[in-house]
Structure 1
């Protein structure tokens, strides 16, 4: 019980100083943070912490396989290889991507998200067998009355890397090869705090917005990337928002252009890499070179941990966002 309480305190899904939760039901953001505790092993920051502390604190932690439910369940696909920068490709500075995003004007801001994710699962226990989770695809759509619909589907291991949700309005539906992991409807909410608040177009205000999303640590580059992921878990950005976000990313220390890359949904992108030495991770942010939209974020382990069955070069997690 002590371990579970520690996880809950660290995740802090319902901060005591946040007036949104006084005498009210949990909103969608807080409920999802609680669900991450129940179903995702450890939240993202805690998974990185497990790898960084290494031997003593992480002893006995192993990666487990998540299977499709049912008697004919199929094991998860093998761990993906890290994305590779195209040899000889020219890195594009973030400032130039921001200029292209500002000039594009073709994308409109939309509340909701469509994302495919994959991550290693960590849990306490014993055993030496290495395993991974299934890729998941999630569609979140908000409606005019303030309610929201969320559909989470396991992608088919026989067809990895391809979408399995048809994004049909007003409610997303699954296609034949998708297995529903969860389907939720959230009641109307009119919160004016992030992530429900509309993302601003000013760099300073956007930084404050993302800092409020992070809430646990000063907004350094690792925390900024986490906050961007949280933002994109709630909004699909338009051209103005993309331009502002990329300008903010251009100010992030240690985030460097690396060259062209093809992402996991076979889209051309430009990669920007941050070496998170404190947590033993290489973080790769992938942007659409024409619109500045964030296509993906991948974390790769740079410092192995034998006690959790993780080797240097293993992919820890990735997210691939779609419109």
Structure 2
């Protein structure tokens, strides 16, 4: 095994670097993993990279295997897929998903590793955390067959929500976004697409994922009488005005939050985090989901790529970090 690993650290606002750190041999209950791919969570990691995680959330925002502390320097990330190189015989050589930051080799507790189901390619498996978020949101919103469902925001999570909703029998699903290039993704998943300004007020259930105040306003306007809006966006330090005057109360609208840190209350008695993650991985078996992985970046190129990747005007969906032949940090 190598004696050191290379990891991506966000060190000051707008700057990242690769750092070398010692790599200990795995002890009992642990395994050594060689990273194959990891996913950049563009929305959340943009806030980390730019130093916009509010101090009140520094502890709650910690990733499970994060190193360092907010605001900086911090080693952050939660969507890694790799191959177990050392560990118990029943998992050695298996491809696993781990809630680990971006790092080429790492040692992790076995309890934090989930073996990929048969037929799931490692590159697509990096979507597991996002699929968990989408699945949890459907549970929070109590999505049902036959509903008129609107998703405002066609980012990676919004499109996964639309993908799941479109598979509910009889559901009528529309995705709304200002970026018309997202139309092909929505339609490929069985949903219609429109600009937010074109929405009417007929939705039974609305998911908001755009992380922009105008998106929340569009979500509220898209609601029919007694509809539910599931707010999935996280705004960091930004204060967001919501249009709770006008007809909000007389139409008896319900605005709720959804966040993946806790299993949705509707199913929590029977579903653990582990069971939910296993189901999310199963749901990723569909090759149609590969279209969401629209950018590949070599691990050693990440420090240089981060400013453009997290720029406010960046239009790509997400980025997959590849670890083959990545040189060690100095």
TM range (shorter): under 0.3
Q: What's the TM-score, normalizing by structure 1? A: 0.25
Q: What's the TM-score, normalizing by structure 2? A: 0.24
